[in-house]
């Protein structure tokens, strides 16, 4: 339950600290006093949209902090899964800078918006007038049935089977589409594959051919250059080797006179040996380099084939061409095995569909078991709120298709009077009727869902008098199961609260500041009397207020 709310620098609030009690509490105040500020602050705290334009002082940061007692709700696993420190007293804080940058913390540990929203949905349900529109939404109506039926286990089993079936169905559709496309392109694909297979591509071939082609195309130039090298090294009268040999002989002849010359002779002799080896390699290369027109034509033709294939397939290497060839072989081969693949997938789809049908039937059965309880509980609650002839029927029909939510379509049928035909609630219920039906459903859900806190924001719109008093009694009954906070403008509802808070604003020159205070017993009498008759209540209004509060 919400035990404390602190707000700094938000809209009309400079700073406010509010301690909340368990049970049923009410918040009252004049229109525009700032009752909706509390909802805005809580909504923003729980992951709602951050808007710095609503700050009281645009130069300061806004801080909103709420403290919850979660000792009775078994939320420890959530904290462990999200690596958050668990404490029976959970503190959620949001800080927003003037630029609009927000940071959120749970027990002083930073959290993401998704984590905050998930935790917020576990801690508090903020029900506003706008949420009454949910009653006319088929998805919400189905969620009510699931909550009352406690069908989480059956729904999870069904959704697992649904996803398996849907995945196999999509794969079957994809394969059929691919086969249809491939069948249309079969001749083209086969032609492309034939050309690649005919080319007999070999890894590394392109690089070897390009090197050989370069050699063949320049054979004459290479051979002439190598012959000149051989002449310079060996065959010429002034050849390098001749000169080196003479140098070795001369150094050796005088080495006895200078010992260091002996090592120079050896070094020169080593150079001579290296030059002889170089000359031998040059001769070998020169012997192998020949102008071969037939080979040139073969190499050029082979390279033209490779280049043409690369250009056609928009790649630059033989390796890439071979990958394309493998893919084409797979696709062409699939033509022959397509029927078998499709038949296998169709068998899987049929098998998964049977599993899904079975789990959908179990889910529907579990849901159907809750319908009478929803109908009788809502009708009983509506009777307490001044609609004794109202009827609610939950019509559940098999859907024309399976969805993630199952195979059921739920429609709430409603009639406010005995002599009226029951029609979908979206078509006939008035605003006041919708408010009462929604409150009846919230009361029912509070019994089946272990929700710590619900805040009801003026759900009494469109009602008054004895009906309002009855509605207050329903809220008070809900307050015995959970914490209920109602923002109301009706004294009949306000009088039912165990705790009463008032929101008011003060003007100080150009400044308008909103405050919220918990009322004492005497202040409460005055507040309800003012709600009944105006700013200066009469003695009769004060007595009426006391009567509503059960005071003598």
Q: Are residues 50 and 13 in the same domain?
A: yes
Of the pLDDT bands very low, low, confident and very high (cuts 50, 70, 90), residue 520 is very high
Residues near 98 by beta carbon (within 8 Å), at least 6 away in sequence: 52, 55, 58, 59, 60, 61
Judgement on whether residues 190 and 262 belong to the same structural domain of the protein: yes
| 314 within some domain | yes
- Which of 341, 368, 395 is at the close of a domain? 368
The residue from 311, 346, 368 where one domain ends is 368
Task: Pick the closest to residue 470 from 386, 355, 372 (CA basis).
Answer: 386
User: Which domain-ending residue is among 350, 368, 386?
Assistant: 368
Task: Tell me which of 216 and 193 has the higher pLDDT.
Answer: 193
Residues 32 and 168 grouped into a single domain: no
Residue 87 lies in a domain: yes
Residue 223 has what pLDDT? Answer: 77
Among 132-136, 200-204, 372-376, the least confident range: 132-136
Burial of 421 (0-12, 13-18, 19+ CB in 10 A): exposed
| pLDDT tens digit sequence for 363-394 | 999 999 999 999 999 999 888 888 889 999 99
pLDDT at 135: 76
Residue scoring higher pLDDT (512 or 78): 78
Q: Is residue 551 part of a domain?
A: no
pLDDT tens-digit map of 391-441: 999 999 999 999 999 999 999 999 988 777 888 887 876 777 887 888 888
Which helix (H) or strand (E) is 112 found in, with range?
A: none
Domain extent, residue 99, equals 1-128+451-519
pLDDT tens by residue, 258-304: 878 888 888 888 988 888 888 888 888 777 777 677 887 888 888 99
pLDDT computed for residue 385 by the predictor: 85
In a domain, 285, yes or no: yes
Q: Burial of 434 by CB count in 10 Å (0-12 exposed, 13-18 middle, 19+ buried)?
A: buried
pLDDT at residue 65, rounded to an integer? 94
Residues 104 and 212 in one domain: no
Query: Does residue 405 form part of some domain?
Result: no
Question: Quick one: average pLDDT of 159-180?
Answer: 91
Question: Greater confidence, 195 or 133?
Answer: 195
| pLDDT tens digits, one per residue of 249-260 | 888 888 878 878
Residue 467 and residue 354 share a domain: no
**What integer pLDDT is reported at residue 130 of this predicted model?**
62
Comparing 16-25, 78-87, 215-224, the range with the smallest average pLDDT is 215-224
How many other C-beta atoms lie within 10 A of the C-beta of residue 219? 16
410 within some domain: no
Which helix (H) or strand (E) segment holds residue 501: the answer is strand 499-508
| Nearest alpha carbon to residue 549 among 531, 527, 530, 525 | 525
Q: Answer yes or no: do 363 and 250 share one domain.
A: yes
165 plus 102 within the same structural domain: no
CB distance 7 to 13 below 8 Å: yes
φ, ψ dihedrals at 333, nearest 5°: -65, -30
Question: For the residues 337-355, what does the mean pLDDT come to?
Answer: 89
Burial class of residue 200 (count of CB atoms within 10 Å of its CB; 0-12, 13-18, 19+): exposed
- Residue 52 pLDDT greater than 60, yes or no: no
Q: What is the pLDDT of residue 429?
A: 65
Residues 207 and 105 in one domain: no
Q: Is the pLDDT of residue 459 over 60?
A: yes
Q: What is the mean pLDDT of residues 306-331?
A: 89
Write the DSSP string, 252-275. Answer: HHHTTT-THHHHHHHHHHHHHHHH
Residues 168 and 78 in one domain: no
Which of 133-142, 314-323, 328-337 is predicted least confidently? 328-337
| Shared-domain flag, residues 195 and 229 | yes
Checking if the pLDDT of 67 tops 90, the result is yes
Round the average pLDDT of the chain to a whole number and report it. Answer: 86
**Residues 382, 388: Cα–Cα separation, whole Å:** 7
Do residues 180 and 325 both lie within one domain? Answer: yes
Dist CA 484 CA 380 (whole Å):
20
Within-domain flag for 167: yes
**In this predicted structure, what is the pLDDT of residue 86?**
93
At residue 248 the predicted structure's pLDDT band, cuts being 50, 70 and 90, is: confident
Domain membership flag for residue 394: no
- Give 135: exposed, middle or buried? Use CB within 10 Å, 0-12, 13-18, 19+: buried
Across 123-127, 275-279, 347-351, 462-466, least confident range: 462-466
> Are residues 362 and 487 located together in one domain of the fold?
no
Output the domain CATH number for residue 57: 3.40.50.300
Averaged pLDDT for residues 185-206: 86
Mean pLDDT within 59-77 = 90
State the total domains in the chain: 2
pLDDT level of residue 322 (50, 70, 90 thresholds): very high
């Amino acid at each position: 339950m919400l035990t404390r709310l602190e707000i700094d620098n938000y809209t009309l609030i400079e700073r406010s600290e509010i301690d909340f009690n368990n049970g049923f509490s009410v918040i009252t105040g004049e229109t525009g006093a700032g009752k909706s500020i509390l909802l805005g602050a809580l909504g923003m705290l729980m992951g709602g949209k951050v808007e710095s334009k609503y700050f009281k002082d645009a130069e300061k940061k806004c801080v909103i902090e709420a403290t919850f007692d979660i000792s009775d709700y078994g939320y420890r696993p959530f904290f462990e899964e999200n690596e958050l420190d668990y404490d029976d007293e959970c503190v959620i804080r949001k800080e927003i800078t003037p630029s609009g940058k927000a940071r959120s913390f749970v027990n002083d540990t930073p959290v993401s918006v998704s984590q905050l929203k998930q935790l917020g949905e576990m801690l508090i349900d903020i029900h506003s007038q706008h949420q009454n529109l949910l009653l006319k939404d088929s998805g919400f109506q189905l969620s009510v049935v699931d909550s009352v039926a406690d069908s989480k286990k059956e729904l999870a089993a069904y959704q697992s089977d649904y996803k398996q079936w849907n995945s196999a169905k999509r794969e079957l559709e994809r394969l059929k589409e691919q086969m249809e496309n491939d069948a249309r392109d079969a001749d083209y694909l086969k032609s492309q594959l034939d050309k690649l297979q005919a080319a007999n591509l070999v890894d590394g071939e392109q690089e070897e051919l390009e090197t050989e082609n370069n050699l063949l195309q320049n054979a004459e130039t290479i051979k002439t250059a190598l012959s000149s090298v051989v002449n310079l090294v060996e065959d010429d009268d002034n050849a390098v080797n001749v000169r080196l040999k003479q140098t070795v002989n001369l150094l050796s002849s005088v080495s006895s006179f200078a010992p260091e010359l002996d090592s120079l002779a050896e070094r020169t002799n080593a150079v001579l040996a290296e030059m002889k080896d170089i000359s031998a390699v040059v001769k070998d290369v020169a012997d192998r380099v020949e102008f071969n027109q037939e080979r040139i034509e073969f190499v050029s033709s082979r390279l033209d084939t490779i280049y043409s294939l690369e250009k056609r397939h928009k790649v630059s290497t033989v390796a890439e061409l071979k990958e394309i060839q493998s893919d084409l072989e797979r696709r062409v081969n699939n033509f022959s095995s397509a029927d078998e693949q499709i038949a296998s997938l169709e068998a899987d789809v049929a098998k998964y569909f049977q599993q899904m049908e079975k789990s959908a039937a179990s889910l529907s059965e579990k849901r159907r078991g809750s319908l009478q309880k929803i109908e009788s509980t809502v009708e009983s609650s509506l009777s307490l709120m001044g609609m004794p002839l109202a009827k609610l029927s939950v019509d559940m029909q098999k859907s024309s298709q399976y969805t993630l939510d199952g195979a059921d379509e739920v429609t709430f049928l409603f009639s406010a009077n005995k002599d009226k035909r029951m029609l979908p609630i979206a078509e006939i219920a008035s605003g006041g009727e919708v408010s009462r039906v929604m409150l009846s459903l919230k009361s029912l859900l509070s019994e089946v869902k272990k929700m710590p806190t619900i805040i009801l924001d003026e759900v009494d719109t469109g009602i008054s008098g004895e009906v309002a008093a009855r509605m207050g009694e329903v809220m008070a009954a809900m307050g015995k199961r959970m914490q209920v906070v109602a923002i109301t403008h009706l004294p009949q509802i306000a009088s039912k609260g165990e705790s009463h808070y008032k929101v008011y604003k003060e003007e100080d020159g150009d400044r308008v500041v909103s405050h919220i205070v918990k009322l004492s017993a005497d202040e409460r009498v005055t507040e309800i009397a003012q709600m009944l008759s105006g700013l200066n209540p009469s003695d009769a209004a004060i007595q009426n207020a006391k009567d509503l509060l059960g005071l003598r």
